[in-house]
Homo-oligomer: A and B are copies of this chain.
Amino acid sequence: MPVDFNFRISPRTVQQETVDKLRLAIFSGLFQPGSRLIESQLCTELGISRPSLREALRSLEAERLIEIVPNRGPSIPALSWEVATAIYEVRELLEVEAAGRCALRISPEQLRELERSLSAFEQAASSNDSLAQVMTAADFYSIILANCGNPVLEEVHRGLVARISFFRGRSMSLEGRAQSSLAEMREIVEAIAAGDEEAARKASRQHVLKAKAAAKRSMDGAV
């Protein structure tokens, strides 16, 4: 029996389905930041009842992907640059640690997987599909985080990256950002492949810092 296989087959419930759909919608920028979500409207669009929708909204609220103000209802939070900075700082803390640990303990198969995901990002980077870029980049990180040996680190990181997906989409479409991002990510992979913890940490830190700078640039240019 494999070490970590969950035998329980969990039927997908309406609420899970709804959370996933809405999360994806938020990621892809379907809703404007600051815009309100009307329950009745979402219900008819999703074809579900209001109690089910509201449960899903509570889940998303706890993930900080939406805000719910009493008597005003749910809305997409307008992420301030101040909060975004805070998120990038914590992301740096976690991602650097994960990359370092990953360099020491990743398996050959997972390393190949990581290289594959880098190729996927490379392909996306040469296209103009910024959603694809964000998605493949997310795959890349998730492999690193999944191999750092700490599931909680992984989970927290995922939550943080989700919240800045808005910025990431925008900064990816910045002139040349996808390409330099690719170079930084390649450096991380090389360090991990070499089993060099310190180099992995350093490359990872560089990458996050540059991503943050790019996000800032994209924000200054647009707002």
Query: Which B residues touch A11, using CB under 8 A?
Result: 70-71
Beta-carbon contact of B152 and A10 below 8 Å: no
Beta-carbon contact of B62 and A153 below 8 Å: no
Q: How far is the CB of A187 from chain B (nearest CB, A)?
A: 23
Q: Which of A62, A152, A160 has the most CB of B within 10 A?
A: A152
Query: Which B residues touch A16, using CB under 8 A?
Result: 70
Interface size on A, as a range, is: 20 to 34
CB-CB nearest in chain B for A61: B59
- Which of A50-58, A105-113, A194-202 is found at the contact surface with chain B? A50-58
Q: What is the bound-complex CA distance between A44 and B59, given in angstroms?
A: 24
Beta-carbon contact of A62 and B58 below 8 Å: yes
Q: What is the bound-complex CA distance between A69 and B89, given in angstroms?
A: 34
Q: Does A41 contact B (CB under 8 A)?
A: no
Q: Which of A56, A71, A90, A150 has the most CB of B within 10 A?
A: A90
Which one, B10, B56, B58, B150, contacts A90 given CB within 8 A?
A: B150
Q: How far is the CB of A209 from chain B (nearest CB, A)?
A: 16
Q: Does A161 contact B (CB under 8 A)?
A: no
Which one, B8, B10, B90, B152, contacts A83 given CB within 8 A?
A: B152
Query: Which B residues touch A213, using CB under 8 A?
Result: none
Beta-carbon contact of A153 and B59 below 8 Å: no
Beta-carbon contact of A87 and B152 below 8 Å: yes
Query: Which B residues touch A89, using CB under 8 A?
Result: 150, 152-153
Q: What is the interface of chain A, defined by CB distance below 8 A to chain B?
A: 8, 10-13, 15-16, 51, 54-56, 58-59, 61-63, 69-71, 83, 86-87, 89-90, 93-94, 97, 150-153, 156, 160
Could you give 12 example pairs across A and B, Cβ below 8 Å? A10-B69, A10-B70, A51-B51, A54-B55, A55-B55, A55-B58, A59-B59, A59-B61, A61-B62, A83-B151, A93-B93, A93-B94
